[in-house]
A and B are shown apart, each in its own frame.
Chain A
């Protein structure tokens, strides 16, 4: 076989000949067995009389437009095999995730990369084809001769995705294992991109992804998903999985999502959670969603007002998980009353023994837990804030609102 590529649509319908050159039937489907090899076509399904036959890849001598010639005639009847990913049945016309292009696409054709191995022609899945060119090929294959179709498709621009960057969708968890589907491609994506993809999928596929993906990635992704769909996803999951995911979220996001659920479901999920995040989330759930309390986060860094820059540095080292969003350190007294706030950047230009009190902003801007969302938004605008501390009715620090919370609020209007 001299050609660079071979298409699935070309493979289908090819005559299969035995050693004596007798016709056995035509190719009906081809399958890879992902547990054995991620891309090699392992079995060819041949339809002749009543039953289909299975041809192993090493039983084939040559594959060309003239037909498929075998090396060996010990063929077995086809029986359904859960470990097979069948190209026509499972891939053609179905949706898959293009991890590189970060979108959901529909498979129109499959491109193979033919190789010569141990005296056999072996096909490897190379690309998945989408777009006009493959549509053209699908429509005319079988109507016009294969060579003519190839020539006619020439001017149309190809549009393909490398097989290595494709992630198959399969809702059945057992079959996911048998097809060796893992989520590393999805887990490596930016959660916001994964969230966009998830929104495009059917509820079953969404569920399958969230059930199997790493719970930290799941949490980050879920918080990026459209609020309308968040609740539906969480409700579709096993309570245990849902609780694992919610635990990984920041308490205020967790509370926001749980508030969207049916009271019983959200209670069940809370019960499954670890005691510490559970209490925090429960407290947050008490606040009205559109109040400062409902917006605030309970992950913040607060130090005694007597602390020094060096103390602050070591406190930050101990709280690595908040690093990415941290921009302010709060000062509190022994009764947890808010006494001041220090912009993070100030720490860098002060010596280690400087008391934090000296670095605090002159005006302490704070807000009451019951303050309305509209007022909070206004304060961010007016005072150009990045972080706004929230205090309870006695003036004790209970949380902080950050600018990205406000952006979400504004976008949802």
Chain B
């Protein structure tokens, strides 16, 4: 039957969803600014982190999609069922705070990208907040998602620019594999931020929920895994070129802190007069895209974990907590941007560090869950997998402690 042949394509396309969308959301305003700042300030030095980050990213996302496919349940549901309400509550509270700072970061991305064209943030941010709310609650998000995904190809400009700025490829190659650790709070702050932006905690909840939503079963999961891996590699290839472009275009003329969108846009200077335009489109699209997904995903995650009604297909009266949480995240996220004289870029970087600090705790629960035989049957982790995951947890906690220690000592 002709149907069967078509079926295979349909399965692939439908499974193509979650992993690649997550990968694209990964390079949001937090990602762009964090990698730009890393390249501008430390040049090729931070490149070595990308290989371990990619490995960890693949492992985490693979675990989430595996859990979603095998159990058919979201991550917050599983934490609730296996660890009880109190644990879930504190995890959700931490997640809401971290995600709120991320929403702030997305609106900061929207504000700064449009300020390149002298559009006031007092005008663009409230407007975008309303637009985000409207698109998700009243509009047809599925159609909008396609536009985002197409617009994500703007990232290619970084790859082109990374080549055109004629970076020092020899150094880039050496530092890609040569780990450099400096006990300097700025450097460690940046490392945590880089891990936090690449492997954002909220994304793990989002990915698992998306896998469950798609109804991907343990059987189809092999295709899904391939997609997750491709997505993760794509994310970090873009990250590599952002850092290289910034190192080549900015750092090579002197290490510099990135304070504004105009600073970061210099990385695209081979595009001449279009640099600002391309940077702005890329940043705006990524920020707006993530601003649509992030508050929604947070509201879903929290409500499912705590057992409240959720879903945009429900009426406000049926799911009040869901809608309030969703609306407040957007309103409070946008409000921070409107405080006069806030350094938006510093705000963005800070949110990614929060992600990095929260990540090991999410990871701990993920590893504990995925090793439960009763839950995962024959799909539990291999010892190799566990070793890498636990090592990552230890490293992330170690980095956080080191940052705290250095800051307290006042070395900074």
Contact = CB atoms under 8 A, between A and B. Distances in A.
Nearest to A143: B86
B1 A228 contact: no
A259 B2 CA distance: 10
Contact of B73 (A93, A202, A226): A202
Interface in B208-237: 214-215, 217-219
B3 interface: yes
A93 B85 contact: yes
Contact of B89 (A139, A203, A228, A263): A139
Given A94-B81, A228-B215, A203 B307 contact: no
B73 A108 contact: no
B89 A135 contact: yes
Given A232-B217, A289-B3, A132 B321 contact: yes
B307 A202 contact: no
A285 B306 CA distance: 45
A206 B215 CA distance: 12
A155 B104 CA distance: 33
Given A228-B14, A232-B215, A108 B307 contact: yes
A204 B306 CA distance: 22
Contacts of A93: 80-81, 84-85
Interface string A129-160: 01110010011000000000000000000000
Nearest to B308: A131
A259 B14 contact: no
Contacts of A260: 7
Nearest to B304: A106
B282 interface: no
A185 interface: no
A138 B85 CA distance: 7
Given A106-B80, A108-B85, A203-B217, A130 B72 contact: no
B327 interface: no
A387 to B, nearest CB: 25
A161 B80 CA distance: 20
A263 B4 CA distance: 8
A135 B3 contact: no
B71 interface: yes
A171 to B, nearest CB: 11
Contacts of A379: none
A139 B90 CA distance: 10
Contact of B71 (A106, A202, A226, A285): A202
Interface residues on A, range: 20 to 34
Contacts of B2: 288
A139 B14 contact: no
A248 B85 CA distance: 42
Interface string A161-202: 000000000000000000000000000000000000000011
Interface residues of B, number: 26
A229 interface: yes
A8 interface: no
A167 B3 CA distance: 38
Nearest to A286: B1
B5 to A, nearest CB: 11
Contacts, number: 60
B208 to A, nearest CB: 13
Contacts of B80: 93, 106
Output the residue of A106, A107, A132, A259 with the most chain B CB within 10 A: A106
Interface string A94-117: 110000000101111000000000
B321 A203 contact: no
Interface in A60-115: 92-95, 103, 105-108
A130 B7 contact: no
Contacts of A263: 4
Contacts of B1: 259, 285, 288-289
Given A93-B81, A106-B307, A285-B1, A229 B215 contact: yes
A136 to B, nearest CB: 10
Contacts of B81: 93-95
Interface string B1-27: 111100100000010000000000000
A347 to B, nearest CB: 39
Contacts of B71: 202
Nearest to B377: A204
Interface string A202-233: 11101000000000000000000010110010
A130 B4 CA distance: 44
Contact of B86 (A103, A138, A204): A138
A285 to B, nearest CB: 7
Given A203-B217, A228-B14, A232-B217, A135 B72 contact: no
A288 B1 CA distance: 7
Nearest to B309: A103
A105 B14 contact: no
Contacts of A94: 81
B349 to A, nearest CB: 33
Interface string B230-274: 000000000000000000000000000000000000000000000
Given A93-B81, A93-B84, A204-B72, A105 B307 contact: yes
Given A105-B307, A232-B215, A202 B72 contact: yes
Contact of A203 (B72, B86, B214): B72
A129 to B, nearest CB: 10
A130 B306 CA distance: 9
26 contacts: A92-B84, A93-B81, A93-B84, A93-B85, A95-B77, A95-B81, A103-B309, A106-B77, A108-B307, A131-B307, A132-B308, A135-B85, A135-B306, A138-B85, A138-B86, A139-B85, A139-B89, A232-B215, A232-B217, A235-B219, A259-B1, A260-B7, A285-B1, A288-B1, A288-B2, A289-B3
Among all A-B residue pairs, the 5 with the closest Cβ atoms: A106-B307, A202-B72, A138-B85, A203-B72, A228-B215
Interface of B: 1-4, 7, 14, 71-73, 77, 80-81, 84-86, 89, 214-215, 217-219, 306-309, 321
Given A108-B307, A232-B215, 13 more contacts: A93-B81, A105-B307, A106-B80, A131-B308, A132-B321, A138-B85, A139-B85, A202-B71, A203-B72, A203-B217, A203-B218, A229-B215, A285-B1
